[in-house]
Amino acid sequence: MKFRAHDTFYIRKGWLSKGMKCVVANEAVFISKEENPMDILGLGANMVKALRYWLQVVELTEESKKRKRTQQLTPLGQLVFDNDRYIEELGTLYLIQYRLASNKDEATAWYYFFNELSLAEYSRDDFVDMIQNYIRMEGHEKNVASRSLSDAFMCIVNTYLPRYKSNPSRVSAENNIDCPFGELGLIDILDKRKKRTKKAHQLLHQLIHGLL
C-alpha cells in the first residue's frame, strides 16, 4: 500500500504529455545531474517528484530495475505518445483512469475509492474512517496517519472536480491548474456547505469493469 507519494499534487493539464516527451528525449530526465530536472520540466522540486510518481502509477512510464533509475515508455505509454500525445481524446483519459483506479499497490487511495468505497455520497471524514477500516482488514502492518488519508481524499477530489465547480471565484483564463480527469465527470458536489460530494455511478460501473 502506498499513500501520499504524490505529495498532495494531483495531475495538472499538460503534465503527462510533458513528462512523456521529456522521458523520450532523455530517459534520465528525473535523475539527471547534468541538467536540472526542474528547469527541463518547468516545475518545482516537489512537483517534479509528483510527476515522476504519476507517470508510473498510470502506467505511461516505468523505471528501470537497474541501479540507475531511468524511465522508459511502457507499451501503453508508447501507444498514447504515438496516437494522442496531448491526451485530448476522452477514450485516452478513460484508459489512463482505468489503469490508475486499478493500481492497488501504488495508488491505494484511488483503488479503494473506485473499487471498495460503497457510499454514493460521502465527506472527507467518511472516506478517512472507511479506508482506515479497509487498511486494517487488509492486514497492513503499519498505521497510516489520518492526515495522509485526508490529504489523499482531497487529492482525489481535486483530480476529478473542476475548479469552476469547487472554487469558481478563483478561476481565470491564465490559471491552468485543473486536472484533465475532471472532463470525465466522475465526481460532483452534492452539498458545498457540508463539504459532501457524490459519485457518478453509471460511469464508474462501466469504467471499473473495463467497458469504456
**Of 112, 107, 117, 111, nearest to 6 (Cα)?**
107
- pLDDT class for 209, splitting at 50, 70, 90? very low
Q: What is the pLDDT of residue 51?
A: 97
Residues 6+ apart with CB under 8 A from 185: 200, 203
The 8 Å CB, 24+ separation contacts for 26-33 are 27/64, 27/70, 27/71, 27/72, 28/68, 28/70, 29/71, 30/69, 30/71, 31/68, 31/69, 31/70
pLDDT 10s digits, 76-128 = 999 999 999 999 999 999 999 999 999 999 999 999 999 999 887 888 999 99
Q: What is the pLDDT of residue 33?
A: 85
pLDDT 10s digits, 166-188 = 554 454 444 457 889 999 988 88
Q: What is the pLDDT of residue 199?
A: 72
Structural domain 15-94, CATH architecture:
Orthogonal Bundle (1.10)
The Cα angle at residue 151 between residues 43 and 37, in degrees rounded to 5: 15
To the nearest whole number, what is the mean pLDDT of the chain? 85
| Rounded CA separation 121/112 (Å) | 15
**Of 30, 29, 151, 19, nearest to 96 (Cα)?**
19
> What is the identity of the amino acid at 36?
N
**Of 209, 171, 159, nearest to 16 (Cα)?**
159
| Rounded CA separation 155/45 (Å) | 18
Q: Enumerate the domain spans of the chain.
A: 15-94, 104-164+179-208
Q: What is the pLDDT of residue 165?
A: 57
The mean pLDDT of 146-151, rounded to a whole number, is 94
> What is the identity of the amino acid at 47?
M
Q: What is the pLDDT of residue 163?
A: 64
| Residue located via cell numbers 511502457 | 74
| Rounded CA separation 194/121 (Å) | 12
- pLDDT class for 205, splitting at 50, 70, 90? very low
Contact present, 114 and 209 (Cβ < 8 Å): no
Q: What is the largest CA-CA distance in the chain?
A: 50
Of 54-63, 109-118, 138-147, 163-172, highest mean pLDDT:
54-63
| Rounded CA separation 194/184 (Å) | 24
Contact present, 203 and 185 (Cβ < 8 Å): yes
